[in-house]
Structures are given as C-alpha cells and as structure tokens.
Structure 1
Amino acid sequence: MSERHTALRSMHDLGLAAWFGGSLMGAFGVNGAAAQMNDSTQRLPMASAGWARWTPVNAAAIGAHLAGAVGELVTESPRVAAQAGVARASTLKTALTVGALAVTGYSRLLGMKLEKAGGPPVEGVTEPNSQTPSNVASSQRQMRMLQWAVPALTGALIVVTAYMGEQQKPGEVFRGMLGRAGGMPKGMGALMAMGAAKKKRMSMSGR
C-alpha cells in the first residue's frame, strides 16, 4: 500500500493557505482600501462587494481543506493510535478548525447584515462614526474583532500542521511508538548505546 497521499495533502495545504491568506488580505486590503474612500456612504458597499466576490472561492478553499484533513486523518489513523503525542495534536487541530469555521461563518453573517444596510455613513468598514445607525455600528464592532480572529485561528492551524509534519519523521515516530508502549523495551537502551559507541569508534578510526 502506498504511503504517499499527495492529493490529500495538496487539498489540505492549498485550502488552508487560501483560507488564511484570503482572510488576512481582506482585513488589510479590502477593508483598508474601502476605508480610504472619500465618500463615507460608499465604504461599506465597496467592501461588501469585495467580500461577496471572495465568498465562493473561500467556501471552495475551506471545503478542499476539510476534505484533505479528513482524508489525512483516516490514512494516518494507525499512527494516531500508536504514536504518543499525535492524538493530542490531532485534537488541538480539530478544535482550531471548528473554531475557525465558527468564526468564519459568523463573520459572513455579519457581512451580509452590513451588505443589506446599504450605504450608511461610516468611519471605516469596521469603525462607525456619530452618524452610523446603531444596528450597523453594533455589527461593525463585532466584525472589528472577528476579522483578525480568522487569520489568527487559521495561522495557528498552519503552525500545528507544521508540528504534525515534524512528528512524521522516522526518529519522532520511533520515539512516539516507544512512548505509547510505556517506555523503551528491556535491553533496547543498552543495544542503542552499544551501537552508538561502535559508530563513534568506527568514525574515529577512519580519521
């Protein structure tokens, strides 16, 4: 059975990259650019139009990431069960994914509310001014926090994914298997020490 799962890894990584990158660019680029418009009544409509065009792409990216993540979890399930630390990392990754999905979904609901608000005067896309209706201002204040929560959570997912990639190195797998088994088998430590000493002597004699 092949140990390569290039398609699953590609779906996982590309989807997550688009999810993280799109949310970060939107917060800095779309919202930041719209806030520079001179007409304060056009700031929300301009940003809403940009986010609406990105939404289908973002949904596809999230779907690809989830499909790849589930596929990887299935293919790596034997190692999750046998290698110490992998199950804990998988649990953390799942929690971060659920959190990112929840924040992304709620952010989109707020975005739709702001989109339906039309063109009220605002200071920025996530900053109301004294003339902004109270319901719009409330959604903007929530969006101000959530626009950074999505890249923070997806960025944390990238870090955890990198850590889990390190866990797949042969040395890490070996130590994790021993850890899950309750420690190094009797005599294994002595054999490893003898092997290391022999390797050192051979290295020194070859100088």
Structure 2
Amino acid sequence: MTAYSTSVRALHLVTNAAWFGGSLMGAVGLNPAAEEGDTSRERSEIADRGWTAWGPVQGGAIGLHLLSGIAILADNRRRTLSHTPTTIAVVAKTALTGAALAASGAAYVNGARLGEAREKADHDPAARGRARELAQRLRWLQWATPLTTGGLLVLDAYLGEQQRGVAGLLDRPTSLRRRR
C-alpha cells in the first residue's frame, strides 16, 4: 500500500467521521439545546448559530469524502470488478452514500424552513402550525444522517477486513508456534 493510498483512505475515514459526528452532535446536543430558548425566535436563532458555524465544516467534509471515495474506487477498480463480495459492498456503500447525502440535504432544507417558520410563529398561527409540522419531520430526519454515515463506517471496516491477511489480531504469532 502506498503513502498515497494510505492518505486517501485516512482522508476518507476522517471526513466520514466528521460528517457522522457533526450530525450526531446536532441530533443529541445542539437541536435539543436550542429547544431551551424562551421564544420560537430565540430557539431558531440558537439552532441557526450552531448549524451556521458547523455548515462549512460539514460541507467540506462531505465534499472531500466524496472525492476521496472516487479516488479509492479508482485505485481498487480491478478488485471491485473481480471480487464479488467487494462489488456488493461497494454498491451498498454507494447507495448508502446517496442516502446520507439525501438525508443531509433534507435535514438542511427542513431546518432552514423550520427556522423561518419559528421566526414568524409568535405572531402568525399558520406559521406556528407549519413550525410544528417541520419540527416533527426534523425529529426523525435528524437521525437519518448519523444512521447512514454510521453504516458507511461499518462498510469501510468490512472492506478493510477483506484486505487483511490470513492471521488475525488475536492469532498466535508464528514465532511462538515454532518455539514449541
């Protein structure tokens, strides 16, 4: 394995970790913390500040993740085409990446719409109803990104195991076997 391959694989894993971790932090920490605001407008501003600060990092991580994934696929094209378990895992990983992108995009759009609706909710009953509807949708949607990107991490572990040699981590080293 070359230094280039190692660097690209590391970039791919680190950017997925950022994508996964950021979305999980939002679902577990930021979004519930934003609900502590006194008014709809305040709750919206809290969430907006957090996601606005994180957005460029998340966007960069997603972009680099996609580019590094393409580079890995190009580097492993023969194995991907000739080894059926790898082909299946790569197809699954591609589909899951598409789902993660769709979930991230949908959460972003719904979050922005929720913020707009919440800003008007204190004075507009229709906006209040729209905010409730969007908040309900976002409650399940916010978990879709960490679930799909977590699945990508699992598939990366599976693909890494396929490249491992015969001996496992807990197998006895051959030098100990010779001494007996």
Whether these two folds match at TM > 0.5 is yes
**Matching of residues 4-23 of structure 1 within 5 Å:** 5-23=5-23
Could you say what secondary structure the match of 1:36 adopts? coil
Give the direction of change, closer, same or farther, for the CA distance of 1:3–1:40 in structure 2 (3 Å limit).
closer
Structure 1 residue 25: Cα displacement: 0.4
Contact 1:81 1:87 in 2 (8 A): yes
1:156 to 151, 170, 176: 151
- Show the counterpart of 1:73: 73
- Show the counterpart of 2:64: 64
The Cα RMSD (Å) is 2.5
**Matching of residues 109-148 of structure 1 within 5 Å:** 109-117=109-117, 118=119, 120=121, 133-148=128-143
- Show the counterpart of 1:99: 99
Q: Higher helix proportion, which one? A: 2
List runs of 5+ in structure 1 lacking aligned partners.
Answer: 122-129, 173-198
1:22-81 Cα shifts (integer Å, max 9, x gaps): 000011111121122344541122112211221111000001111111100110111112
What TM-score, normalized by structure 1, do the two folds share? 0.73
Give the direction of change, closer, same or farther, for the CA distance of 1:3–1:77 in structure 2 (3 Å limit).
farther
Could you say what secondary structure the match of 1:42 adopts? helix
1:88-140 Cα shifts (integer Å, max 9, x gaps): 0001101100000001011111111122231635xxxxxxxx99612222211
Structure 1 residue 10: Cα displacement: 2.0
* Distance (whole Å) between structure 2 residues aligned to residue 37 and residue 92 of structure 1: 41
What TM-score, normalized by structure 2, do the two folds share? 0.83
* Distance (whole Å) between structure 1 residues aligned to residue 130 and residue 90 of structure 2: 40
Contact 2:79 2:86 in 1 (8 A): yes
Could you say what secondary structure the match of 2:142 adopts? helix
Query: Partner letter of residue 35 of structure 1?
Result: E
- Show the counterpart of 1:192: none
Contact 1:42 1:119 in 2 (8 A): no
Q: Bigger CA drift: 45-54 or 10-19?
A: 45-54
Could you say what secondary structure the match of 1:85 adopts? helix
- Show the counterpart of 2:36: 36
* Distance (whole Å) between structure 2 residues aligned to residue 3 and residue 56 of structure 1: 28
* Distance (whole Å) between structure 2 residues aligned to residue 3 and residue 136 of structure 1: 50
- Show the counterpart of 2:170: none
Query: Partner letter of residue 16 of structure 1?
Result: N
* Distance (whole Å) between structure 2 residues aligned to residue 10 and residue 2 of structure 1: 12
Query: Partner letter of residue 73 of structure 1?
Result: L
Determine which structure has more spread, i.e. the larger CA radius of gyration. Answer: 1
Query: Partner letter of residue 94 of structure 1?
Result: T
Could you say what secondary structure the match of 2:159 adopts? helix
Contact 2:48 2:115 in 1 (8 A): yes
Q: Percent identity?
A: 38
Could you say what secondary structure the match of 1:135 adopts? helix
